[in-house]
Structure 1
Amino acid sequence: MAKYLFQATYTAQGMAGLSEQGGTERAEVVRALIENAGGRVESLYFAIGKHDLFVSCEVPDNMTTAALGIAAQATGGARAEVIPLLTPEEIDEAAQTPVTYQPPGQA
């Protein structure tokens, strides 16, 4: 399974729901969403700042990840960003993968 970091920023509507239901209940909703899609939550934190929620999780694939993002944002309660996470070993492998690249302005 691939690892992802979801960053969410609540809209006014979402913040009203959080205020009414509380963090524990909303966290359980997020956990259920991910687990019902075959994923696993590693950590979930609320934050103060640009983003209101951070969720580190494992999800089966990009299609499932896209479906989670669509479901979460379709209600209008939050805007979310998804960041794929790579292990140090995956970066090692990527660094050893041959690629051909020509910088702009060089022939």
Structure 2
Amino acid sequence: MPRFLVIARYQAQGARAVMAAGGSARRSAFEHAVLDLEGRLESFDFALGDADVYAIVELPDSAAAAALSLTITGGGIASVRTVALLTPEEVDRAARLHPDYPAGPR
């Protein structure tokens, strides 16, 4: 199953929710959404800095990843950025592919 890195920044309402219910409750809510999309939560960590949460999830496809992002962002508690992750073997395969693409004008 494809893996995605989900990076979230809490809005004020989201930060208040973490403070009120705790970090474990937010992780549980996130995991519930991932499971509802037939995915699996691999890791969920809070962070200090530009983002508040870094999570790695397995999801069936990009549509499921987009649904997760849209649902969380639409709820108004956080803004989300989702990054598709590649395994070393996928990068090996990509390195063997050579699409025709001209470097300059034709």
Please show how residues 12-91 of structure 1 align to structure 2 within 5 Å. Answer: 12-91=12-91
Identity of aligned residues (%): 34
> How far apart are the structure 1 equivalents of 2:3 and 2:15?
27
Q: Note the residue ranges of structure 1 that are not aligned, 5 or more in a row.
A: none
The alignment of Structure 1 onto Structure 2 pairs a total of residues equal to: 106
Q: Aligned letter for 1:45?
A: D
TM-score, normalization by structure 1: 0.94
One-letter code aligned to 1:102: P
TM superposition shift of 1:101:
1.9
The one-letter code matched in structure 1 to 2:4 is: Y
Per the alignment, residue 5 of structure 1 pairs with 5
Structure 2 portions without partners, runs of 5+? none
**Deviation of residue 103 (structure 1)?**
2.4
Q: Tell me how far apart the structure 2 counterparts of residues 53 and 103 of structure 1 sit (CA, whole Å).
A: 39
Cα shift at 1:36 = 1.2
Task: Give deviations 1:1-44, integer Å, cap 9, x for gaps.
Answer: 10000000001111111111110111000011101110001111
Cα distance in 2 for partners of 1:54, 1:77 equals: 15
